């Protein structure tokens, strides 16, 4: 019986972290990992094109508008879990997925949903974390002194936003001469490396037999 681990990668946008994972799988840096499918809630997400270029199932999975209410969201989350299970998915990687998954979904993949967030634990949860860190630095920093933001990879045990057991984290400096663009580039470089390192750690441990 194969011990390959099948993962789904959920995205909402450009998919640069998706690309980092694809590259790592193809280069053998995530041995025994198969990308079962790539899912986006946005039809125009460039990440879906990335997936198609690499021969991966690329699925647009739209959600109802917020006005439809929480019950409709939870129902759609259940349908998403059904979809992933049909693809044999064991682990779910949120790599720029901009929706909070309901407890109903998370219970289908207990301790097997991984999120990448461009901030350190407890800092700037939610959207636009890099921009908010940059603005906070500009508002509070002393002249000439660097600041700090970072990247973390964590498990998603519940509906808390960008919170859960941390798998890996790394600080990223903010320099006095940074622009938002230069800081964003530096954060993304760390994201691309850290998500691969964290998945390697998690999935290697997953494949090891219990003692």
- For residue 140, the model assigns a pLDDT of 87
Residue 161 and residue 159: Cα distance in Å, rounded?
Answer: 6
Residue 31 and residue 128: Cα distance in Å, rounded?
Answer: 33
Structural domains of the chain, with CATH: 5-117+151-169+191-207 (3.40.50.170)
| pLDDT, mean of each 10-residue run, the chain (211 residues) | 84 97 98 97 96 98 92 95 98 96 96 98 97 95 86 97 97 96 98 98 76 48
- For residue 1, the model assigns a pLDDT of 35
Q: Is 14 a catalytic residue?
A: no
Angle, in degrees to the nearest 10, between helices 180-207 and 129-140: 130
Q: What is the pTM of this model?
A: 0.94
Residue tagged active-site, from 117, 154, 188, 192: 117
Residue 129 and residue 145: Cα distance in Å, rounded?
Answer: 21
Q: Supply φ then ψ for residue 15, to 5 degrees.
A: 85, 30
- For residue 43, the model assigns a pLDDT of 94
């Amino acid at each position: 019986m194969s011990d390959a681990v099948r993962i789904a990668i959920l995205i909402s946008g450009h998919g640069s972290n998706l690309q980092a994972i694809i590259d790592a799988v193809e280069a053998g840096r995530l041995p025994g990992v198969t990308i079962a499918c790539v899912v986006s809630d946005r039809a125009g997400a460039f990440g879906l094109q990335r997936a198609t270029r690499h021969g991966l199932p690329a699925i647009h999975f739209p959600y109802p508008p917020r006005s439809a209410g929480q019950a409709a969201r939870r129902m759609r989350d259940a349908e998403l879990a059904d979809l992933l299970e049909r693809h044999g998915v064991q682990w779910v990687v949120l790599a720029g997925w901009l929706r909070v998954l309901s407890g109903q979904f998370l219970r289908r993949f207990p301790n097997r949903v991984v999120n990448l967030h461009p901030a350190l634990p407890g800092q700037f949860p939610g959207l636009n974390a890099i921009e908010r860190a940059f603005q906070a630095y500009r508002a509070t920093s002393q002249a000439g002194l660097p600041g700090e933001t970072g990247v973390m990879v964590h498990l998603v045990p519940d509906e808390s936003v960008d919170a859960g057991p941390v798998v890996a984290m790394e600080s990223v400096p903010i320099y006095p001469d940074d622009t938002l663009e230069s800081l964003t580039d530096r954060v993304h470089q760390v994201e691309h490396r850290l998500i691969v390192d964290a998945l390697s750690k998690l999935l290697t441990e997953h494949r090891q037999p219990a003692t």
